[in-house]
Structure 1
Amino acid sequence: MVSSASFFALVEDDLEQLSDNLVNLVGASHPDLAKAAEHLFKAGGKHLRPALVMLVSRATAPGGEPTPRHRRLAEITEMIHTASLIHDDVIDQALLRRSQPTVNALFGDKVAVLAGDFLFAKSSIYLARLRDLEVVELLSTVIDHFGEGEIRQMMQAFDTKLTFEDYLEKSFYKTASLMAHSCRAAAVLSAVPEPLCAAVYQFGHHFGTAFQIVDDLLDFTASIETLGKPVASDLANGHLTAPVLYALQEQPELEALIQDRFEQPGTFERALDLIYQSRSLELTRSLAQAQALAAKQCLEALPPSEARQSLRGMSDYVLDRVH
């Protein structure tokens, strides 16, 4: 099994500094909102997105040394990600995140919504202070995509006519967009040529898509202790992910169960049985593998370095989570 420590080692000190800075960045002007936001900062996440930013920074910056602007970009990325998680949990009425109570479970929906807004606003201020118009546009686009992804997810709930193209677009808006745009932003701050900026953007796009597909697979295969939230919670909420879409192609009975929103006793359990009886989990794993391979191929545009090798290792680690 690929260890996350192997690729985090290069940016371990960066991420430790980031964790300390995040608490300071949210400030104390609104203690209740800051306390709610800090709850997720300290909830045991791996800081995968800022790790991507720091590794791309080390792979592209002159001499392999990130600047203070690169480090601030990594912090902004984590603030934006955390804000989106808080809002997601309110929308889904989720009670667990990373095996910990969600912000809305601890503080209520109103405080959670305000805490998410608070983090988006704070991140926007620090983003503007980077004084780079393209980077501002890149990260602002991510926030727009979060909204688009949530709207699509809401409008497409329990829609058995959802296509794989629809699913992949929603996955981009909700997950891969932040990774793709923040990777490009790191390269922009390094002032590298456009082909390298485009390559790391595509890496983030494919990496983020693979990451989301694996998450969707784990929703059906991981235990509640591993997942940190109830198993098959996406299906229960009507969010049709790759395993469900593949199963629909093999199990005609599944369509009616989903369209009826599992209102009859035992229908949700029957739907799970049909999914597990199909080849959907195997096909979903193959889809994730294809995206991870595409991500690694994008890295060939970067000059050889320890950081590039760590980025390749991250792509392997994403897939390894399902074994």
Structure 2
Amino acid sequence: MTRTTSPSAPNTRQDKRSALALMMAHPELAPIVPVVSEQLDAVKTSIQGIIMPDIEVLAHTIAQTLNNTGKLLRPLVGLLLSAASSTSTSSHEKPVGFRHIETAAVAELIHVATLLHDDVIDDSDLRRGLPTIRADYGNRLSILSGDYLLAQASLKLSQLNNCRLVSIFAMVLANLCEGEVKQLKTGYTLDMDWPTYLRKNVCKTASLFAACGESAGVNNHLPESDIARLQQFGEQFGIAFQIVDDLLDYTADAQTLGKPVLDDLKNGLINAPVLIAFDKLNGQPDRLKQFKNLCLQLFNDQNEAVIPDIQAVIDDTNALAATKDLARHYAKAATDAIAHLRPSPYKTALDLLVDYSIHRQM
């Protein structure tokens, strides 16, 4: 039931998004985060600065959402790429400055705003095992909170006085909308193919990572060829990341994942393991038809009794192993895109981050 009472003011002294707290919550990031921990904390401070205490309910929902949305991966990618590609040779000049930090904050604000909007579109009551703003305070406040974050992201971009940065992130917003429309059009049907699946993933997930890469190159005044490589890293990393998300929908337990297992299929979404199973069954029309009928029963009739049968087909076709191989393919493409960067702790951290994206459990 939606709560209608006003929430209490946020407790900003127990911020769960500091670099130290991030490593404690996600120890697998411990080898990666320290090289930009100071800059990540600066991103957090920048984001905290947008909270308006005079609008108490909005201040609370935004603080709650920012605290509960995960690993700061997009700022992490942007900051690491900025530092790794910096052309500065001065020991007194930091490779990551104000522009990089504000751009990273923009990326996170856009990401969190999309989560608030997605929760309304998807009727989601839980995210990472915690109640969503929509569940606690209703659709209107979730939408308004997301809109406010997008407005603040736009304001930050305008203050950087760089039209290209504005264009980069405006295109992200357009891509996010395109991806959501594609998902709505193909949802609860079997009308999904690989080109549509990959385009949806680029729009909904990879485009923001790609923008983090492109903007890092722009802020560092790199040649266009090098900017394109950083953009390519972000895009390929984002595709790999989403494919692993698809994999976790089958392999992670509900408590770790923070949502029910096979949640995608229950919500009418055909993901990579299912597409691979379709491909593997192409020469067996009867089994393919039976498997498609099982999928339809789950996401149209919500018949959870068919879940073991679906999982059996996924296992029989080795779809999970093939999905992991597909993720590795895109992860390698990401690593190859930054092979030209000189050795540094930041470059090492990027390589570790790619490896983490493939082997993560949540």
Residue in structure 2 matched with residue 45 of structure 1 by the alignment: 70
- Cα drift, residue 95 of structure 1: 1.6
Aligned residue pairs, count: 322
The 1:5/1:40 distance shift into structure 2, 3 A limit, reads same
2:343 aligned partner, one-letter code:
P
Contact map agreement 1:138 1:182 (CA 8 A) in 2: no
Q: Distance in 2 between matches of 1:7 and 1:150?
A: 31
- Cα drift, residue 197 of structure 1: 0.3
Residue in structure 1 matched with residue 116 of structure 2 by the alignment: 86
Choose the corresponding residue for 1:13, options 38, 58, 81: 38
The one-character-per-residue Cα deviations of 1:74-115 (angstroms, maximum 9, x if unpaired) are: 111100000011111111111211221111111111110111
**Secondary structure in 2 matching 1:3:** helix
1:120-269 pair list within 5 angstroms: 120-249=150-279, 250=281, 251-252=287-288, 253-260=290-297, 261-263=299-301, 265=303, 266-269=305-308
Residue in structure 2 matched with residue 56 of structure 1 by the alignment: 81
Moved over 6 A (4+): none
Contact map agreement 2:52 2:58 (CA 8 A) in 1: no
- Greater share of helix residues, 1 or 2? 1
The one-character-per-residue Cα deviations of 1:24-47 (angstroms, maximum 9, x if unpaired) are: 223335332232122121116110
- Cα drift, residue 322 of structure 1: 5.1
- Cα drift, residue 60 of structure 1: 2.2
Contact map agreement 1:53 1:74 (CA 8 A) in 2: yes
Residue in structure 1 matched with residue 344 of structure 2 by the alignment: 305
Q: Distance in 1 between matches of 2:54 and 2:148?
A: 11
**Secondary structure in 2 matching 1:229:** coil
The 1:264/1:90 distance shift into structure 2, 3 A limit, reads closer
Residue in structure 1 matched with residue 23 of structure 2 by the alignment: none
* TM-score, scaled to structure 2: 0.84
The one-character-per-residue Cα deviations of 1:171-219 (angstroms, maximum 9, x if unpaired) are: 0100000000121111101101111100000000100000000011001
Please say if 1:70 is aligned against 2:108. Answer: no
Contact map agreement 2:79 2:96 (CA 8 A) in 1: yes
The one-character-per-residue Cα deviations of 1:150-189 (angstroms, maximum 9, x if unpaired) are: 1100001133231111111100100000000121111101
Q: Distance in 1 between matches of 2:58 and 2:120?
A: 15
Which deviates more, 221-230 or 271-280? 271-280
Aligned Cα RMSD in Å?
1.8
1:279-294 pair list within 5 angstroms: 279-294=318-333
The 1:134/1:224 distance shift into structure 2, 3 A limit, reads same
Contact map agreement 1:206 1:294 (CA 8 A) in 2: yes
1:267 aligned partner, one-letter code:
V
* TM-score, scaled to structure 1: 0.94
The 1:127/1:29 distance shift into structure 2, 3 A limit, reads farther
Q: Distance in 2 between matches of 1:129 and 1:75?
A: 13
Which deviates more, 37-46 or 270-279? 270-279
- Cα drift, residue 71 of structure 1: 0.5
Contact map agreement 2:268 2:300 (CA 8 A) in 1: no
Contact map agreement 1:50 1:75 (CA 8 A) in 2: yes
The 1:58/1:285 distance shift into structure 2, 3 A limit, reads same
Residue in structure 1 matched with residue 22 of structure 2 by the alignment: none
Which deviates more, 160-169 or 288-297? 160-169
Contact map agreement 2:116 2:142 (CA 8 A) in 1: yes
**Secondary structure in 2 matching 1:192:** coil
- Cα drift, residue 224 of structure 1: 1.1
Q: Distance in 1 between matches of 2:177 and 2:54?
A: 27
The one-character-per-residue Cα deviations of 1:8-31 (angstroms, maximum 9, x if unpaired) are: 110112222322331222333533
Contact map agreement 2:125 2:135 (CA 8 A) in 1: yes
Q: Distance in 2 between matches of 1:153 and 1:134?
A: 29
Residue in structure 2 matched with residue 3 of structure 1 by the alignment: 28
1:30 aligned partner, one-letter code:
I
Larger radius of gyration: 2
**Secondary structure in 1 matching 2:244:** helix
